[in-house]
């Protein structure tokens, strides 16, 4: 195999076509802002009612978009009907609508409730949607003839969102919060401080120290501004923090046990966040990488909006046994991950961008690294799901080398990107990267400044798997994840130990290196020789991809009958497979500890058994 052989070929993705109102769209960053914070509003014709109207651009696929209005009753009596009016600029139009009657006159639009959704109880909300074209935003919003921000003073806009808080002076029982000020046309009076979604204090400045906390406990904070008329604006992004002490060690001591969770797994694989609970894996891992977000046009963008935040979960599918409602602001995997963190507060979640299929956009993105970092930060810290994520993972396959496409950004590009991401995300967020394990002379590790970039990354997920596979259709058969070199290995430098040694030699600290484990096997067919090194006729049949099969399947259909270089292999009929077992994972974890590595990671959860035996093997081996 040449040094350009791509790694992690199991990361091909697919998204099925869906019907109904769930749209299959190219994932652009969704925009959710209360209208009063986004545009200057026209003065209402009458005093403001005790209700607000908020506009959301739920998705944008270039040639069109899906818009949504949400009416919320902020008063103490029921709202019997509602009418929303707004203006779109020239070039932006609203078309078909659902859950409302929509009419227009030029660029002026009027939406009225239907017979069944006009009544809105105190504290409740109702939404309707429409399809549109153009890039403009609504202006001049009125709700029942009054300001859409629900202000008590005609023409008085609500304040903007404050900056996402930062944390400092963290102790066993306290944490200091600081944030940038909000703006308002009449002046900001004070700020509400929210902890885990509940208001705990109102302060006049832009700092607050929360005391009386529990040691070793995770908390999430956000802030919300109030103006001189006591109107509240949108909530800021959220920041997560863990108090010190308290014996809050993560499973496996101080070692990382990280697994990838794929957004497309909710389709054909029928694998959901709840499976992390039922398998027992959630109690044994420390981190999750949610894969993948896309990299397009120099920006981080949504990968699959339906799986990420639109899919509705029934009670039996949900982590906490509570079904999603049709009008809740966040659904899909993001909401399920939020529920998972509530049950297992030790888990940190990173949003991973790129991967094998979506790495082609990194080259353009790093041409303006600050703008790229800003786009990623804005998406990860979107107020709808900021509390879900604890950082970002960048899966560029591969900087200044060839993967699905070839990159020519130069050896410094990785460090440039890493430095920009760290500058934007700060020290309170995790910034990590999945990287090549090609340790051959002049190979992919030699192509980029992994040593320099490691100064800005918390750790590297070293993809020490997919070294060999049936892309070399005739073989020779070889373990796809060898721990060490062995006599007859098809390519020098293609082993875990050689990759780790080269990265250390380039100045990457051992504690910033995680050893990669594949929860799947690579296989050939037409093989007569049981030992590695045999010839083949092509890829062995696989459930989702020829030459690839989950461990949970291989364990039963083709049990291992030998080991080489620290990993297992199996010869069943004319099929030959290599994969890791609990026993070989144990060997690899012992080696990782002896090397002083920061821990291990794996691709990906759905390949494990229903009782999570591979996750358990990593946890046990790292202890």
User: In angstroms, rounded to a whole number, what is the distance separating the alpha carbons of residues 427 and 455?
Assistant: 12
CB of 127 closer than 8 Å to CB of 327: yes
| Alpha carbon distance 480, 522 (integer Å) | 6
Q: Alpha-carbon torsion 480, 486, 488, 494, what sign?
A: positive
Q: Please confirm, yes or no, whether 249 is among the known catalytic residues.
A: no
Report CA-CA distances (Å) from 405 to 357, 414, 434, 472. 9, 16, 17, 19
Helix, strand, coil proportions of the chain in percent (round to 5)? 20, 30, 50
Q: Please choose, from the candidates 560, 510, 564, the residue with its C-alpha nearest in 3D space to the C-alpha of residue 532.
A: 564
Angle subtended at Cα 413 by Cα 290 and Cα 419, rounded to the nearest 5 degrees: 65
Q: What distances in angstroms separate CA 406 from CA 172, 395, 557, one per listed residue?
A: 49, 15, 37
| CA gap 433, 394 in Å, rounded | 5
What span, in angstroms and rounded, lies between the C-alpha atoms of 54 and 71? Answer: 7
Structure-derived torsion over alpha carbons of residues 466, 468, 470, 475, reported in degrees to the nearest 10: -170
Per-residue 3-state assignment (H helix, E strand, C coil) for 107-159? CEEEEECCCCCCCECCCCEEEEEEEEECCCCCEEEEECCEECCCCCCCCCCCC
What secondary structure does DSSP assign to 219-272, as a single string? EEEEEEEEETT--B-PPPPPEEEE-S-TT-PBTTBT-EEEEEEEGGGGSTT---
The total of other beta-carbon atoms located within 10 Å of residue 121's CB is 11
Which of 66, 85, 381, 397 is labelled catalytic? 397
Confirm if 308 and 353 have CB atoms less than 8 A apart.
Answer: no
Judge residue 563's burial from the number of C-beta atoms within 10 Å of its C-beta, 0-12 exposed, 13-18 middle, 19 or more buried. middle
Rounded to 5 degrees, φ, ψ at 422 are -65, -40
Q: Which residues contact 597 (CB under 8 A, 6 or more apart)?
A: 500, 510, 511, 513, 514, 515
Neighbours of 90 (CB within 10 A): 9
Q: For residue 286, which phi and psi values (nearest 5 degrees)?
A: -115, -30
How many other CB atoms sit within 10 Å of the CB of residue 46?
11
Catalytic sites, residue numbers: 397
């Amino acid at each position: 195999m040449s040094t350009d052989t791509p790694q992690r070929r199991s990361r091909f993705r697919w998204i099925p076509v869906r019907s109904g109102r769930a749209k299959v769209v190219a994932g652009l960053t969704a925009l959710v802002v209360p209208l009063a914070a986004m545009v200057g509003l026209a003065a209402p014709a009458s005093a403001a009612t005790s209700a607000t109207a908020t506009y959301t651009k739920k998705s944008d696929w270039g040639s069109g978009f899906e818009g949504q209005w949400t009416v919320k009753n902020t008063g103490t009596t029921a709202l019997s009907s509602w009418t929303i009016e707004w203006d779109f600029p020239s070039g932006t139009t609203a078309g078909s609508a659902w859950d409302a009657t929509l009419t227009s006159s030029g660029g002026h639009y009027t939406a009225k409730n239907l017979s069944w959704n006009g009544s809105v109880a105190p504290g409740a909300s109702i939404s309707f949607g429409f399809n549109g074209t153009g890039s403009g935003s609504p202006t001049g919003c009125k709700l029942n003839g009054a300001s859409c921000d629900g202000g008590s003073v005609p023409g008085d806009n609500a304040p903007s969102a404050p900056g996402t808080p930062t944390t400092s002076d963290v102790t066993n029982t306290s944490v200091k919060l600081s944030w940038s000020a909000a703006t308002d046309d009449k002046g900001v009076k004070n700020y509400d401080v929210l902890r885990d979604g509940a208001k705990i204090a109102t302060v006049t400045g832009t700092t607050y120290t929360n005391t009386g906390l529990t040691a070793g406990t995770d908390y999430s904070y956000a802030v919300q501004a109030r103006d001189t008329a006591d109107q509240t604006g949108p909530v800021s992004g959220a920041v997560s923090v863990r108090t010190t002490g308290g014996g809050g060690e993560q499973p496996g001591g101080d070692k990382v046990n990280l697994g990838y969770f794929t957004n497309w797994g909710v389709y054909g694989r029928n694998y959901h966040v709840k499976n992390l609970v039922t398998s027992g894996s959630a109690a044994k891992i420390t981190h999750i990488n949610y894969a993948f977000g896309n990299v397009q046009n120099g920006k981080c963008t949504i990968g699959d909006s339906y799986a990420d935040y639109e899919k509705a979960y029934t009670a039996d599918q949900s982590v906490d046994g509570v079904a999603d409602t049709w009008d809740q602001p966040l659904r899909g995997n993001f909401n399920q991950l939020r529920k998972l963190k509530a049950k297992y507060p030790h888990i940190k979640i990173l949003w991973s961008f790129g991967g094998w299929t979506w790495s082609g956009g990194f080259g353009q993105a790093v041409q303006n690294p600050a703008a790229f970092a800003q786009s990623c930060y804005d998406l990860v810290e979107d107020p709808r799901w900021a509390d879900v994520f604890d950082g970002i993972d960048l899966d560029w396959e591969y900087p200044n080398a060839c993967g699905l496409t070839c990159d020519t950004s130069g050896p410094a590009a990785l460090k440039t990107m890493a430095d920009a991401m760290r500058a934007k995300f700060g020290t309170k967020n995790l910034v990590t990267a999945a990287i090549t394990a090609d340790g051959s002379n002049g190979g992919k590790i030699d192509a980029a400044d992994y040593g320099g970039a490691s100064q800005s990354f918390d750790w590297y997920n070293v993809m020490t798997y997919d070294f060999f596979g049936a892309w070399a259709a005739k073989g020779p058969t070889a373990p796809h994840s060898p721990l060490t070199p062995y006599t007859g290995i098809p390519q020098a430098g293609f082993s875990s130990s050689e990759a780790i040694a080269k990265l250390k030699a380039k100045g990457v600290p051992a504690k910033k290196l995680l050893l990669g484990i594949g929860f799947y096997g690579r296989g050939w067919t037409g093989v007569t020789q049981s030992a590695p090194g045999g010839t083949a006729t092509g890829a062995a049949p696989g459930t989702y991809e020829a030459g690839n099969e989950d461990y949970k399947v291989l364990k039963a259909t083709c049990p291992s009958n030998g080991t080489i270089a620290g990993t297992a292999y199996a010869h069943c009929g004319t099929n030959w497979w290599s994969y890791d077992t609990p026993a070989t994972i144990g060997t690899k974890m012992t080696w990782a500890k002896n090397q002083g590595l920061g821990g291990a990671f794996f691709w990906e959860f759905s390949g494990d058994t229903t009782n999570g035996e591979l996750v358990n093997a990593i946890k046990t081996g790292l202890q």
